[in-house]
């Protein structure tokens, strides 16, 4: 391309040709005088795009920076710190700390109380997650029927989920009172004595499981209801035409189609059950005889009641690793088992 | 052809609703009962009078007014800043082109997997060393980062029509103007849902304020409530239930008035398609 011969026309053609692939034609004026040669314009554009990129970076940092900085300061950094603390023999608030390697971990694993805490954590988690999902699905199927007043009923069933865990715990402590609570009155009416909810470790564990279920089952039902309403009616009609009864339809069609919802719920309720604290704190404070001490409650009790911050951090690190492994396993499992439509 | 009346379903629905409502009604009734009425056997279901003496007693024994103000301040400020941070971060993640954007998104999302309870000891140590114990910033700042809100806002922003924002850009609107004048007004339902869920969470927050506050005049309602439990060896159930009503009633009212939007926020994370 000889520049001298084609100059008058080149301004237009080259301008349009270059606007072709990635840029807006409107950005380049169609006719300009003193058009610089292409190399110089490319350089100018480069400078401009570098300036654009710098501007974009600045804006990105301005907008996302504070949030990401807070996440690093109050989530990621303390996560690493917690791991470091777990290698110390250290009382919270004290200046002295002795490095003990992994002794907090071996101490926890060999502590006579640990099997009990693991057992309570497993029972509490399985009962609240499993029980919650079964009852929640039942409620969702019920609320999905064409019943009068199902709208207000749905609102009422979800309501406990938004209440404070402490308030819920105290309220139920009153309901379960063996002398003048409703539970005792109802059992008394059919001639049964009230169980020793406050004094027997097993009854106490059952009590906090019931309260956790009461608070959260409405949320599970709500999510399942959303999943049920996403199932297309013609799928169910086709099944009915093929002569499938309600049980068969439920097992072969509804349950598999709810797979992604069940997965979402199993992850979120598992995480929240393993973290639940306020109901236990308000009702039993981990007792009687450590009968309601979950790993989460042990982290709090060791760190802030007994003051053993290093030991508590070791339990926290173990609980975090358990959460991480369980979530990863669930993710792998769901990739193979669940078919997203 | 008449359809059979589904009597079994109605009974099941009634049982479910009763199980949810009765404990709350019991709490409300007890909050108006005197000591002798609460301890009387057989159970006296209704209070003899609806005199609010337990409420005035609760207000006398502990500074409930201060608890209420502290809860209101931490809830409004905490939820408000969380929403602004979430909006800004989601806008940056969706609309601003920078390298390594996926890495930043991963940092936000992975934080959802780290329960705040796991990091209480390092965070407590940090807040104590800053001299923030018994302060609003001590209660609010460590929980400010918005991972869930950012996630929901990002999902929503990805669904916005790009043509509107392109037109705004051609008209010379910068990113900040595009965010406030176009994206925010197009996102009000999502913002309302995230706001309400954040308000509910902040109002009920318990473990963190329990750790950083020990002065009664700085306590929030859930912490102050347990103070009412321990004032005198024996629990005065009438007064305690009055306090419980004061903690649960505001959020119940918010829930019943705004329930559609709260439900939208609760289900938004679940229905991803």
From residue B144, alpha-carbon distances to A185, B116, B151, B171 in Å are 45, 11, 15, 35
Distance CA A295, CA B118 (A): 11
Distance CA B125, CA A90 (A): 12
Evaluate whether residue A147 is within a structural domain: yes
* Residues A174 and A205 reside in one and the same domain: yes
Structure tokens at A197: 């909810």
CATH code for the part of the protein at B58-270:
1.10.3720.10
From residue A167, alpha-carbon distances to A256, B99, B229 in Å are 38, 47, 11
Among residues A51, A86, A121, the one where a domain terminates is A86
* Residues A107 and A243 reside in one and the same domain: yes
Among the partner-chain residues B42, B97, B244, the one whose CB lies closest to the CB of A170 is B244
CB within 8 Å: A282 and B9: no
Q: Which residue of A has its CA nearest to B101?
A: A60
pLDDT at B132: 96
Cβ neighbourhood burial of B80 (10 Å; 0-12, 13-18, 19+): middle
Closest CA to A338 of A268, A287, A262: A262
Closest CA to A120 of A336, A290, A318: A290
Residue B179, H or E segment: none
Residue A326's pLDDT band (boundaries 50, 70, 90)?
confident
- Three-state secondary structure readout of chain A: CCHHHHHHHHHHHHHHHHHCCCCCHHHCCCCCCCCCCHHHHHHHHHHHHHHHHHHHHHHHHHHHHHHHHHHHHHHHHHHHHHHHHCCEEEECCCCCEEECCCHHHHHHHHCCCHHHHHHHHHHHHHHHHHHHHHHHHHHHHHHCCCCCCHHHHHHHHHHHHHCCHHHHHHHHHHHCCCCCCHHHHHHHHCCCCCCCCCCCHHHHHHHHHHHHHHHHHHHHHHHHHHHHHCCCHHHHHHHHHCCCCHHHHHHHHHHHHCHHHHHHHHHHHHHHHHHCCHHHHHHCCCCCCCCCCCHHHHHHHHHHHCCEHHHHHHHHHHHHHHHHHHHHHHHHHHHHHCCCC
Are β-strands A88-90 and A97-99 bridged in parallel, bridged antiparallel, or unpaired? antiparallel
Q: pTM value?
A: 0.87
Above 70 in pLDDT, residue B3?
Answer: no
Distance CA B203, CA B74 (A): 8
Q: Cα torsion at B173, B177, B179, B185 (round to 10°)?
A: -100
Residue B153's pLDDT band (boundaries 50, 70, 90)?
very high
Residues with Cβ within 8 Å of A74's Cβ and at least 6 positions away in sequence, in order, are B119, B123, B141, B142, B143, B144, B145
Closest CA to B121 of B201, B221, B202, B207: B207
Q: In this complex, is the C-beta atom of A157 within 8 Å of any C-beta atom belonging to chain B?
A: yes
CATH number at residue A151: 1.10.3720.10
From residue B14, alpha-carbon distances to A149, A153, A269, B21, B22 in Å are 10, 9, 26, 10, 11
Distance CA B241, CA B246 (A): 9
Residue A7's pLDDT band (boundaries 50, 70, 90)?
very low
ipTM (interface pTM)? 0.92
Q: Which of residues 279-308 of A touch B (CB under 8 A)?
A: 281-282, 296, 299-300, 303-304
Residue A278 · residue B222 · CB < 8 Å: yes
Q: Which range in A19-33, A36-50, A229-243, B58-72 is most confidently predicted, on average pLDDT?
A: B58-72
Distance CA A319, CA A121 (A): 10
Q: What is the mean pLDDT of residues A281-302?
A: 92
pLDDT at A109: 95
Give, in degrees to the nearest 5, the angle at Cα B86 between B81 and B92: 130
Q: What is the mean pLDDT of residues B23-43?
A: 86
Above 60 in pLDDT, residue A324?
Answer: yes
Q: Which residue of A has its CA nearest to B212?
A: A304
Structure tokens at A32: 């300009």
Evaluate whether residue A36 is within a structural domain: no
pLDDT at B28: 94
Among residues A31, A53, A86, the one where a domain terminates is A86
Cβ contacts of B225 on chain A, cutoff 8 Å:
164, 166-167, 170
Q: How many residues are there in chain B?
A: 273
Residue B191 · residue B87 · CB < 8 Å: yes
pLDDT at B273: 39
Q: What is the mean pLDDT of residues A275-295?
A: 92
Cβ contacts of A70 on chain B, cutoff 8 Å:
85, 141, 144-145
Domain count, chain A: 2
Residue B174: other Cβ atoms inside 10 A:
11
Distance CA B23, CA B19 (A): 7
pLDDT at A33: 52
Determine the distance in angstroms separating the CA of B244 from the nearest CA of chain A, rounded to an integer: 5
Q: Which of residues 239-268 of B touch A (CB under 8 A)?
A: 240-241, 244, 247-248, 251-252, 254-256, 259, 262-263, 266-267
DSSP B6: -
Q: Which of B5, B122, B194, B236 to mutate to probe the A interface, most A CBs <10 Å?
A: B122
Evaluate whether residue A260 is within a structural domain: yes
Closest CA to B219 of B60, B75, B58, B71: B71
* Residues A70 and A132 reside in one and the same domain: no
CB within 8 Å: A157 and B20: yes
Residue B232's pLDDT band (boundaries 50, 70, 90)?
low
Q: What is the mean pLDDT of residues A165-182?
A: 91
Q: What is the mean pLDDT of residues B200-228?
A: 93
Residue B50 · residue B242 · CB < 8 Å: no
pLDDT at B61: 85
Q: What is the mean pLDDT of residues B110-120?
A: 88
Residue A336's pLDDT band (boundaries 50, 70, 90)?
low
Give tens-digit pLDDT for A247-269: 888 888 889 989 888 988 988 89
Q: Poorest-confidence range of A138-142, A293-297, B258-262?
A: B258-262
Residue A167's pLDDT band (boundaries 50, 70, 90)?
very high
Regarding predicted confidence, which is higher, B4 or B71? B71
Evaluate whether residue A93 is within a structural domain: no
pLDDT at A12: 41
Give tens-digit pLDDT for B41-89: 777 778 888 888 899 988 888 898 999 999 999 999 999 999 999 999 9
Catalogue the E-assigned strands of B107-251: none
Among residues A86, A121, A153, the one where a domain terminates is A86
Evaluate whether residue A1 is within a structural domain: no
Q: Tell me what the pLDDT averaged over chain A comes to.
A: 85
Residue B229 · residue A170 · CB < 8 Å: yes
Residue B255 · residue B200 · CB < 8 Å: yes
Residue A180 domain boundaries: 102-335
Residues with Cβ within 8 Å of B50's Cβ and at least 6 positions away in sequence, in order, are B32
Above 60 in pLDDT, residue B244?
Answer: yes
pLDDT at A209: 97
Which residue reads 């303390």 in tokens?
A: A78
Determine the distance in angstroms separating the CA of A64 from the nearest CA of chain B, rounded to an integer: 4
Q: How many residues are there in chain A?
A: 341
Closest CA to B56 of B24, B23, B34: B34
Above 80 in pLDDT, residue A16?
Answer: no
Asked if the peptide bond before residue A84 counts as cis, ω within 30 degrees of 0, the response is no
- Residue % of chain A over a pLDDT of 90: 50
- Residue % of chain B over a pLDDT of 90: 58
Structure tokens at B107: 């940092």
* Residues A167 and A255 reside in one and the same domain: yes
Evaluate whether residue A95 is within a structural domain: no
Helix residue spans in B96-174 (DSSP H): 101-110, 120-129, 136-140, 148-158, 162-170
Question: Per-domain residue ranges for chain B?
Answer: 58-270
Which residue reads 């009990």 in tokens?
A: A116
Give tens-digit pLDDT for A122-165: 999 999 999 999 999 999 999 998 888 889 999 999 999 999 99
Residue A94's pLDDT band (boundaries 50, 70, 90)?
confident
* Residues A267 and A168 reside in one and the same domain: yes
Closest CA to A72 of B119, B133, B155: B119
* Residues A52 and A174 reside in one and the same domain: no
Interface A:B, Cβ pairs < 8 A: 260
pLDDT at A330: 76
Q: What is the mean pLDDT of residues A162-176?
A: 94
Above 60 in pLDDT, residue A321?
Answer: yes
Q: In this complex, is the C-beta atom of B15 within 8 Å of any C-beta atom belonging to chain A?
A: no
Evaluate whether residue A22 is within a structural domain: no
Asked if the peptide bond before residue B116 counts as cis, ω within 30 degrees of 0, the response is no
Residue A174 · residue B33 · CB < 8 Å: no
Evaluate whether residue A185 is within a structural domain: yes
* Residues A305 and A330 reside in one and the same domain: yes
* Residues A79 and A110 reside in one and the same domain: no
Above 80 in pLDDT, residue B2?
Answer: no
Residue B178: other Cβ atoms inside 10 A:
19
A69-94 burial string, b = 16+ CB within 10 Å, else e?
A: ebbebbbbebbebbbebbbbbbebee
Residue B25's pLDDT band (boundaries 50, 70, 90)?
very high
């Amino acid at each position: 391309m000889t520049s001298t011969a084609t100059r008058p026309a080149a301004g237009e053609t080259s301008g349009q040709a270059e606007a072709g692939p990635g840029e807006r034609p409107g950005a380049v004026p169609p006719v300009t005088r003193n058009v610089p040669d292409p190399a110089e314009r490319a350089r100018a554009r480069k400078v401009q795009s570098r300036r654009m990129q710098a501007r974009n970076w600045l804006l990105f940092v301005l907008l996302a920076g504070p949030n990401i900085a807070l996440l690093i300061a109050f989530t990621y950094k303390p996560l690493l710190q917690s791991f470091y603390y777990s290698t110390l023999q250290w009382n919270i608030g004290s200046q002295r700390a002795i490095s003990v390697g992994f002794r907090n971990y071996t101490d926890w694993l060999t502590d006579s109380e640990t099997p009990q805490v693991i057992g309570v954590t497993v029972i509490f988690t399985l009962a609240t997650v499993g029980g919650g999902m079964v009852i929640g699905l039942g409620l969702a199927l019920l609320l999905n029927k064409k019943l009068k007043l199902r709208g207000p009923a749905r609102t009422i069933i979800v309501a406990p989920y938004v209440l404070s865990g402490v308030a819920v715990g105290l309220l139920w402590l009153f309901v379960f009172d063996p002398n003048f609570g409703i539970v005792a009155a109802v059992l008394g009416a059919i001639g049964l004595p009230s169980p020793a909810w406050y004094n027997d470790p097993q009854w106490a564990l059952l009590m906090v499981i019931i309260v956790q279920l009461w608070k959260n089952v409405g949320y599970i039902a709500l999510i399942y209801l959303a999943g049920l309403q996403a199932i297309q009616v013609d799928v169910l009609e086709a099944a009915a035409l093929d002569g499938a009864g309600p049980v068969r339809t439920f097992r072969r069609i509804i349950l598999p189609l709810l797979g992604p919802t069940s997965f979402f719920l199993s992850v979120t309720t598992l995480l929240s059950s393993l973290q639940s604290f306020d109901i236990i704190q308000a009702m039993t404070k981990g007792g009687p005889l450590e009968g309601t001490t979950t790993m989460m409650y042990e982290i709090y009790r060791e760190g802030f009641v007994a003051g053993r911050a290093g030991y508590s951090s070791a339990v926290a690190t173990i609980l975090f690793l358990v959460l991480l492994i369980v979530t990863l396993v669930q993710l792998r499992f769901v990739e193979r088992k669940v078919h997203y439509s | 052809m008449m359809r059979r009346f589904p009597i079994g379903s109605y009974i099941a629905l009634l049982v479910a609703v009763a199980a949810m409502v009765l404990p709350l009604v019991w709490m409300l009734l007890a909050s108006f009962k005197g000591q002798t009425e609460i301890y009387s056997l057989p159970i006296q279901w209704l209070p003899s009078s609806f005199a609010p003496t337990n409420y005035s007693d609760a207000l006398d024994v502990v500074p409930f007014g201060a608890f209420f103000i502290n809860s209101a301040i931490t809830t409004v400020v905490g939820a408000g800043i969380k929403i602004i941070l979430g909006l800004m971060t989601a806008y940056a993640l969706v609309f601003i082109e920078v390298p390594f954007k996926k890495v930043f998104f991963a940092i936000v999302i992975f934080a959802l997997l780290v329960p705040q309870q796991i990091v209480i000891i390092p965070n407590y140590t940090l807040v104590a060393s800053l001299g923030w114990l018994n302060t609003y910033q001590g209660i609010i700042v460590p929980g400010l980062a918005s991972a869930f809100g950012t996630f929901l806002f990002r999902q929503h922003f990805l669904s916005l029509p790009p043509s509107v924002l392109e037109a705004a850009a051609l008209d010379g609107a910068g990113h900040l103007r595009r965010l406030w004048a176009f994206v925010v007004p197009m996102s009000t339902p999502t913002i309302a849902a995230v706001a309400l869920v954040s308000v509910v969470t902040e109002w009920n927050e318990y473990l963190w304020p329990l750790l950083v506050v020990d002065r009664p005049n700085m306590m929030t309602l859930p912490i102050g409530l347990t103070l009412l439990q321990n004032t005198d060896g024996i629990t005065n159930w009438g007064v305690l239930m009055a306090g419980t009503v004061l903690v649960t009633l505001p959020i119940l009212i918010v829930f019943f008035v705004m329930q559609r939007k709260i439900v939208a926020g609760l289900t938004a994370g679940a229905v991803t398609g």
